[in-house]
Structure formats: C-alpha cells, structure tokens
Amino acid sequence: MKWITRERVKVDRVACPWLIRKFVDPNAEFLFVPKELVLEVAEREGAIPFDVPGVELGHHEGKCSFEAIVSKYRIKDPAIHLLAKIVHGADVAQDLYGLLEAPGLKAIAEGFQYLGLNDDHEILERELIVYDALYAYCQQKVKGEKE
C-alpha cells in the first residue's frame, strides 16, 4: 500500500512510517510531497494520507498522528503506547505527558535536519534505527514496570 505525507520529514513523519512498517503494513511505500499536493497525489496514487491537516491519520484532540495510527489500527502493545507519548511530546507544542525522553527525541529529529540530507527517503532510512532503539527502550521500561 502507498502512504503519503508532507515533505521535509521530522518527528511524527518519521515515527509514523516506522510504526506503519512495523505494525500495520510491512510493505508500505511512502510518498513525500509538498503540503499543498498531499491530498491530490493521495487520490491519484490511491495512497493513505497521514500527518496533514484534515485527514483521519492526523492531529486530533491534541494528539499527534502517531497516536491516531495506534488508535485506528488498535495496536495494544504497551511499549508502543509509551513510545506514542514520547513521540507526542517531541512533536506537539502542548505536551500532554511530560516524559523526559521527549525533548531528547526532538533534539535528535532536529539534528537530522542539520546533517545536510535533502532526500526524505534517506532521512527516513537513516532515522528508523532511532525508533528501533527507542522501541527497545520502551519495551524494557514497561517490562520493568510489570515486575
């Protein structure tokens, strides 16, 4: 399936593709286009839009797009729910959760902007390992809370 969002990926627009590939659509293909073209290209390509205003998988009721995907696809993994709170804090100005990891994720995401990489696919591929590591951290954290 094709998925589409705005170009110039950062936080939510990297976290969402990671989540989609890991938990929703392992063969997902991602398209990154200028904001004003997302809905037009989505219709033409039959792609699912995310992290753009006015779409189902966007920001709603103070929550970020990552949280919308977790909710829509009923992802029950407690580590993903913790990761969603971290992504939220790194992405949304009005942080609902106040987790200490969120500013670190935001700094990492902004750091990728300073590496001089101009291709969204390259940024995505390089940054996915950050979410693999953060997910592993969240798995250990929730496991420790249960013990």
* Cα 57 to the center of its chain, rounded Å: 11
pLDDT at 109: 93
Average pLDDT score over residue span 67-90:
98
pLDDT at residue 79 greater than cutoff 80 = yes
User: Which pair of structure tokens corresponds to residue 110?
Assistant: 């902004």
pLDDT at residue 5 greater than cutoff 70 = yes
Average pLDDT value for the chain: 95
Euclidean distance between CA atoms 17 and 105, whole angstroms: 16
Number of residues that make up the chain: 147
Q: What is the residue whose two structure tokens read 């950062």?
A: 10
- Report yes or no on whether pTM surpasses 0.85: yes
Total domain count for the chain? Answer: 1
Average pLDDT score over residue span 54-66:
96
User: Which pair of structure tokens corresponds to residue 7?
Assistant: 């170009």
Euclidean distance between CA atoms 78 and 144, whole angstroms: 12
Q: What is the residue whose two structure tokens read 């990297």?
A: 14
User: Which pair of structure tokens corresponds to residue 29?
Assistant: 């293909």
Domain membership of residue 29 as a residue range: 2-146
Q: What is the pLDDT of residues 101-133, one digit of tens each?
A: 999 999 999 999 899 888 999 999 999 999 999
Percent of the chain with pLDDT over 70: 99
Euclidean distance between CA atoms 142 and 42, whole angstroms: 37
User: Lowest mean pLDDT: which of 29-38, 67-76, 89-98?
Assistant: 89-98
Euclidean distance between CA atoms 17 and 116, whole angstroms: 21
Euclidean distance between CA atoms 113 and 121, whole angstroms: 13
**Kind plus residue range of the DSSP H or E element containing 110:** helix 101-113
